[in-house]
């Protein structure tokens, strides 16, 4: 279980040591990720997280976040669970204010401390997981997608093209029956 928040002084100590936090991450402990998990899935999935804290440029701590595993998301075609691989590998420089962000070569790879100097570690990890998840997950294998197996073959263009002639055939059929009487 990852610490929810880490104070800046503790973070500086961890950076000096090159501390590594490792462990399983439950989808239930990440409310925004949990909201995307298929409620009917037998297992929500498994995530392994590894967070390394190191000293970066200008003695700012750098938090390297790696998360690997799978999540049972909801297929947007059939609404059944679809196992989705999760692979996060980012290094975020910890900055104490927006001005600090502007000094970085890549401001997007940063994370801000809150007003009390706390790093919201679990939120940062959750943000990175959300960033790699698709907006509309779909079964890549149509054989696994219930929408395709339940709907059956879609009418092809040929069926639509021949519709007027089918009506004509019905018309001729009526004439034939009338003629035969």
* Residues of the shown chain interacting with Zn ion in the complex, contacts defined by CB under 5 A: 75, 77-78, 139, 145
Q: At closest approach, how far in Å is the CB of 153 from Zn ion?
A: 17
Would you say 143 or 156 has its CB closer to Zn ion? 143
Burial string for 105-138 (b: 16+ CB within 10 Å, else e) reads: eeeeebbbbeeeeebbbbbbbbbbbeeeeeeebb
Would you say 80 or 127 has its CB closer to Zn ion? 80
Q: At closest approach, how far in Å is the CB of 139 from Zn ion?
A: 4
Best CA proximity match to 4, nearest among 162, 93, 125: 125
Distance, CA of 172 to CA of 127 (rounded, Å): 66
Q: At closest approach, how far in Å is the CB of 135 from Zn ion?
A: 15
Q: At closest approach, how far in Å is the CB of 82 from Zn ion?
A: 6
Best CA proximity match to 84, nearest among 150, 33, 124: 33
Distance, CA of 69 to CA of 48 (rounded, Å): 6
Would you say 77 or 120 has its CB closer to Zn ion? 77
Would you say 62 or 71 has its CB closer to Zn ion? 71
């Amino acid at each position: 279980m990852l610490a929810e928040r880490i104070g800046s002084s503790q973070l500086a100590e961890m950076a000096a040591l090159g501390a590594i936090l490792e462990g399983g991450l439950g989808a239930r402990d990440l409310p925004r990720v949990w909201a995307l998990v298929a409620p009917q899935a037998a297992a929500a999935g498994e995530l392994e997280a590894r967070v390394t804290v190191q000293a970066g440029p200008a003695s700012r701590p750098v938090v390297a976040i790696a998360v690997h595993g799978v999540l049972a998301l909801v297929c947007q075609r059939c609404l059944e669970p679809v196992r989705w691989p999760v692979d996060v590998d980012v290094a975020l420089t910890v900055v104490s204010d927006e001005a600090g962000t502007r000094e970085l070569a890549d401001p997007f790879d940063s994370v801000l401390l809150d007003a009390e100097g706390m790093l919201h570690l679990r939120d940062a990890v959750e943000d990175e997981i959300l960033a790699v998840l698709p907006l509309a997950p779909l079964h890549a294998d149509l054989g696994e997608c219930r929408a395709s197996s339940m709907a059956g073959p879609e009418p092809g263009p040929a069926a639509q093209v021949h519709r007027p002639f089918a009506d004509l055939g019905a018309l001729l059929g009526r004439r034939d029956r009338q003629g035969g009487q």
